[in-house]
């Protein structure tokens, strides 16, 4: 993300450029694969703003996900105040918030999604266990979906009915992603006393989340099947965005399928180890979509290449 991308994103002046460059470096450190996908597959004019939103989400999570429940709640109250002050003042002492405010000025929809996300963070901080599918759905609607929409809103179609379909497809995608997250992170979540798999499903299978066994294998397969159904329902997402964004969206959904495949392969061993997508398969997916973006740019002529 060099000067050209910053200029196309409307980021001008040495101070703002330093701020966005700092966020780019941070995102590249903690989310290298996601940064590479955005850098390779999205128009340059969007990349700095996607980076700003992702950096804000990560900073928020980092601040409110440590310590005792009381410490987490206090950290959230402090952070919520800093975010609101940044928007009220149009500035902040923190580069991550300066970038967020500037991105929201350029893309006004971001501001409303920040509000939704902060409300969701309050719920996430208070959350201990997920009792059943209804509570999982509330968690997704109130926290996970607002988190996704911070970046997804930058790709949303302009027409109202298309936006509604886009948001619903995002909902199905993030519900699948969240379910896979809970499976991938099972050992860590169990140690923290906050497993995300619905408690009624755990009880129904008689599974011990802390050790491999046939009951846990059946539970993992059930949860994987539910995630797969949501991924299928999210399939129209790429067709709802501008053609320039479709390689990125296809790569995003494709990586979720790879993650799901890895969870299925891991099965009951998820009790003692994390899983993740096949690196060669993810690289091949990224290469295919990079080639698709290049073909689109060639067909679009100078306008497509200038993005």
Q: For the chain, 307 residues long, give each residue's pLDDT as a single digit of tens.
A: 578 889 999 999 999 999 999 999 999 998 888 899 999 999 999 999 999 999 999 999 999 888 788 889 999 999 999 999 999 999 999 999 999 999 999 999 999 999 999 999 998 888 878 999 999 999 999 999 999 999 999 999 989 889 999 999 999 999 999 999 999 999 999 998 889 999 999 999 999 999 999 999 999 999 999 999 999 999 999 999 999 999 999 999 999 999 999 999 999 999 999 899 999 999 999 999 999 999 988 887 655 544 5
Roughly what angle, to the nearest 10 degrees, separates helices 109-126 and 69-89? 170
The string over 124-162, giving b where at least 16 C-beta atoms fall within 10 Å of a residue's C-beta and e elsewhere, is bbebeebeeeeebeebbbbbbbbbbbbbbbbbbeeeeee
Return d(Cα 248, Cα 285) in angstroms, integer: 10
Q: Is the alpha carbon torsion for 93, 146, 144, 69 positive or negative?
A: positive
Return d(Cα 235, Cα 81) in angstroms, integer: 38
Same fold, 1-126 and 133-307: yes
The whole-number pLDDT of residue 297 equals 84
CA angle 9, 283, 306 (to 5 degrees): 25
**Site of tokens 């979906």:** 145
What are the tokens at 261?
Answer: 């495949």
Domains of the chain, residue spans: 1-126, 133-307
The CATH architecture one would assign to domain 1-126 is Orthogonal Bundle (1.10)
**Site of tokens 């790429």:** 238
CA 145 to chain centre: 9
The whole-number pLDDT of residue 192 equals 85
The string over 69-95, giving b where at least 16 C-beta atoms fall within 10 Å of a residue's C-beta and e elsewhere, is eeebeebbeebbeebeebbeeeebebb
Q: What is the pLDDT of residues 230-248, one digit of tens each?
A: 999 999 999 999 999 999 9
Q: Which of 226, 234, 232, 231 is nearest to 133 (CA)?
A: 226
Return d(Cα 129, Cα 98) in angstroms, integer: 34
The whole-number pLDDT of residue 104 equals 97
133-307 — its CATH code?
1.10.600.10
The whole-number pLDDT of residue 226 equals 98
């Amino acid at each position: 993300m060099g000067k050209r991308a910053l200029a196309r994103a409307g980021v001008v002046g040495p101070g703002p450029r330093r701020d966005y460059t700092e966020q780019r470096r941070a995102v590249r450190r903690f989310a290298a694969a996601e940064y590479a996908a955005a850098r390779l597959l999205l128009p340059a004019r969007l990349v700095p703003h996607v980076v700003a939103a992702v950096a804000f989400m990560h900073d928020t999570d980092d601040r409110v996900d440590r310590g005792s429940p009381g410490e987490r709640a206090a950290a959230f109250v402090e952070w919520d105040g800093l975010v609101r002050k940044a928007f009220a003042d149009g500035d902040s002492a923190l580069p991550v918030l300066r970038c967020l405010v500037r991105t929201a000025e350029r893309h006004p929809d971001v501001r409303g999604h920040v509000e939704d996300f902060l409300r969701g963070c309050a719920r996430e901080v208070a959350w201990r266990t997920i009792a059943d599918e209804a509570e999982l759905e509330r968690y997704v609607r109130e926290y996970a979906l607002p988190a996704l929409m911070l970046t997804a809103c930058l790709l949303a179609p302009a027409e109202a009915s298309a936006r509604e379909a886009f948001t619903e497809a995002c909902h199905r995608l993030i519900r699948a992603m969240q379910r896979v997250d809970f499976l991938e992170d099972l050992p860590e979540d169990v140690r923290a006393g906050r497993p995300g798999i619905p408690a009624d499903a755990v009880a129904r299978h008689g599974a011990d989340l802390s050790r491999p066994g046939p009951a846990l294998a059946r539970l993992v397969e059930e949860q994987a099947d539910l995630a797969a159904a949501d991924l299928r329902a999210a399939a129209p997402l790429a067709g709802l965005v501008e053609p320039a964004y479709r390689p990125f969206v296809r790569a995003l959904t494709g990586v979720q399928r790879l993650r799901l495949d890895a969870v299925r392969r891991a099965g009951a061993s998820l009790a003692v180890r994390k899983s993740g997508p096949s690196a060669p398969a993810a690289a091949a997916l990224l290469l295919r979509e990079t080639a698709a973006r290049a073909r689109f740019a060639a067909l679009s002529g100078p306008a497509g290449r200038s993005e």
